[in-house]
Structures are given as structure tokens and as C-alpha cells.
Amino acid sequence: MTIAVFPGSFDPLTNGHLDLITRASRLVDQLVVVVGQNTAKTGVFTPEERMAFIQQSVQQLPNVTVRIESGLTVDFMHAMHATVLIRGLRNSTDFEYEQGIAGMNRHLDATIETVCLMADARYQFVSSSLLREVAKFGGDLTGLVPPAVATALQARLGSGN
């Protein structure tokens, strides 16, 4: 059985993330989406809120589970008996960033394979920081995030807050 891990901060969860989760779930027996804490970023939503958004959005995918983790991804993968690490790429900047992470993970455990999926063209311009900026000024998030996430973002960051 092939178990894969798809880690990210998911703050906020985007339709690009959901597209990658759906596509990755077709490639493996079990996919564990891991809500992590990016120590370089300040979060809008708590890890529990992010996990709930993902769980709500992947209910139709029986081989997908969602967990929260704060340690090294490699250590989490060992605990889950996972051998594949899924990452998404939007552009060449993402590639260079992910190349460094993949190299470090390979150094830590040579049995882990990193598989990068290209973002769908509809979502290549979408980033969490851009979405937070759009939400802050009341912009339209339709088609970029799940409806529940759009509502929560507007409530948390919208004009006047």
C-alpha cells in the first residue's frame, strides 16, 4: 500500500490545493493531508480551523485523511509509514524552493520520494498571501477558495476588521 503525505500551511485552503489533493488521491492508496505550521508566517486561521476546512472539502475522497503536525515532515512520514511526499508547483520560484526541501528530505531519509504536481493553469496565480490581501479589501474570492473559506476570510480580514 502506497501512503503519501501532502503537507502545507493551507492558510487559507485554496481551490488550487483542493485540485492537487484530488489529483494526488488518484495516485496513491492513502493520502494524508498535513496541516503544518510555517514558522516564517503568521496564520490567519488556527490549525484546527484549517483542518476543518480541508475535511469539509474532501469528504468525497475516501482515501484522504487530514492531520495536524508541527514537527519535521520526515518524522511524521515515518510515523505514518508513508514513502511519498506530494508537493505542488505553480511556477519556477516554487520549483527552486521545493528543490531545496526535497534535497533536505532526501538527506534525512533517502527512501522518501518527492512527487511534484504542476498546478492547474486556473490556479497558477493564486497564493495564500494574495488571497489574504484580496479578502482584506473585500475583493471577490469566487472560484479561488471553497465558499466556507471565502466567508471566513471575509469575516476575519474584511474591511473594517
Q: Which residues are catalytic?
A: 17, 41, 90, 128
Taking the C-alpha atoms of residue 141 and residue 70, their distance in angstroms, rounded to an integer, is: 29
17 is in an annotated binding site: yes
25 is in an annotated binding site: no
Q: Which three cell numbers stand for residue 33?
A: 493531508
Outline where the chain has alpha helix (H).
Answer: 15-25, 47-57, 73-80, 92-108, 128-136, 147-157
10 is in an annotated binding site: yes
Residue 10: which region, alpha, beta or left (left: phi > 0; alpha: psi -120 to 50)? left
133 is in an annotated binding site: no
131 is in an annotated binding site: no
45 is in an annotated binding site: no
149 is in an annotated binding site: no
88 is in an annotated binding site: yes
- Name every residue whose Cβ is closer than 8 Å to that of residue 115 and which is 6 or more positions away in sequence: 4, 24, 27, 84, 85, 86, 87
Q: Which residues are annotated as a binding site?
A: 9-10, 17, 41, 73, 87-90, 98, 123-129
Q: Which residues are annotated as a binding site for ATP?
A: 9-10, 17, 88-90, 98, 123-129
Q: Which residues are annotated as a binding site for substrate?
A: 9, 41, 73, 87
